[in-house]
């Protein structure tokens, strides 16, 4: 697995996870797992609410992996810049490749900087670029997403940078930009593509919750609890690896 981090890797974020803790032993598992990580601080665990809140420079994907290693079900509920004094602007993008979900990208707005982090699988080994495109039309894959956002100016705003993909086809990246705010790109798309040729990934930028912004435990669409949905996602990920 390849990991790419921007030069602002010291940026801290606050993350809120729902963790299915049903006993003091489960709480101890979570606390011990997080206590071993140097980049994690301000851990607040509420077993009654099944909530874990932390401050860290790690990506939300990495922290979720640490929590899931305890064997407990984990769902990310909210995500803020630690120093954010403004109303929360955040979004999530389900990234697709050939109409199949292959990962997630998240955008979090700070006071002046937007943090972009992603976790993707089944990619071509090598260097990939990541961009925001002007349209959220993915009816024809990345071909219908339009040009890169802001290419009508001398300083295109949508070019975010590059990341590396390892031999296993997996990549985590964490980049920053001050060229736009999250609210400017809601409804547009994120597109990644290998330098040269190869399959693109793409997805629509949709609003998501900040810390303490989502207390739901039942999905209004399906009627499933967050734990039932987390189990379904876990089973689908296992099947996709078989």
DSSP string, 103-116: EEEEEEE-SS-EEE
198 versus 209: the higher-pLDDT residue is 198
* Predicted local confidence at residue 37, as pLDDT: 85
pLDDT band at residue 237 under the 50/70/90 scheme: very low
* Predicted local confidence at residue 219, as pLDDT: 45
* Predicted local confidence at residue 9, as pLDDT: 44
Domains and CATH numbers, the chain: 90-207 (2.60.40.200)
> What pTM was computed for the model?
0.70
Q: Which pLDDT tens digit goes with each residue over 175-208?
A: 989 999 888 999 999 999 999 888 899 999 988 7
Block residue for tokens 């909530």: 51
pLDDT band at residue 231 under the 50/70/90 scheme: low
Q: Which pLDDT tens digit goes with each residue over 119-140?
A: 898 899 999 999 999 999 999 9
Task: Give all strands (DSSP E) within the chain, no chain letters.
Answer: 2-5, 13-19, 40-46, 51-56, 74-81, 90-97, 100-109, 114-120, 126-133, 139-142, 159-165, 171-177, 189-194, 201-204, 206-207
Backbone angles phi, psi at 239, to 5 degrees: -65, -35
| Cβ–Cβ < 8 Å for 41, 54 | yes
Q: Which pLDDT tens digit goes with each residue over 50-81?
A: 999 999 888 888 898 899 999 999 888 877 77
213 versus 76: the higher-pLDDT residue is 76
Block residue for tokens 């994120």: 190
Q: Which pLDDT tens digit goes with each residue over 79-116?
A: 777 765 555 677 778 888 877 888 889 888 877 788 89
* Predicted local confidence at residue 238, as pLDDT: 37
């Amino acid at each position: 697995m390849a990991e790419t981090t921007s030069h602002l890797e010291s940026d801290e974020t606050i993350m809120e996870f729902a963790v299915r803790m049903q006993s003091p032993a489960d709480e101890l598992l979570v606390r011990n797992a997080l206590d071993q990580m140097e980049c994690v601080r301000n851990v607040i665990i509420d077993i009654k609410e099944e909530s874990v809140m932390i401050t860290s420079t790690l990506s939300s994907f990495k922290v979720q992996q640490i929590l899931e290693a305890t064997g407990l079900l984990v769902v990310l509920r909210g995500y803020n810049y630690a120093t954010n004094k403004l109303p929360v602007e955040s979004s999530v993008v389900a990234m697709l490749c050939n109409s199949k979900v292959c990962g997630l990208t998240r955008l979090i707005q700070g006071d002046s900087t937007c943090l972009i982090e992603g976790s993707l699988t089944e990619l071509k080994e090598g260097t990939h670029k990541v961009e925001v495109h002007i349209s959220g039309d993915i009816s024809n894959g990345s071909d219908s997403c339009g040009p890169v956002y802001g290419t009508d100016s001398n300083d295109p705003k949508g070019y975010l940078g590059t990341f590396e993909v390892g031999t296993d086809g997996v990549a985590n990246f964490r980049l920053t930009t001050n060229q736009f705010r999250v609210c400017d790109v809601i409804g547009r798309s994120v597109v990644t593509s290998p330098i040269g040729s190869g399959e693109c990934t793409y997805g629509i930028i949709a609003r998501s919750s900040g810390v303490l912004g989502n207390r739901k435990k039942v999905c209004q669409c399906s009627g499933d609890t967050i734990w039932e949905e987390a189990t379904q996602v876990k089973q689908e990920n296992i099947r996709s690896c078989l």
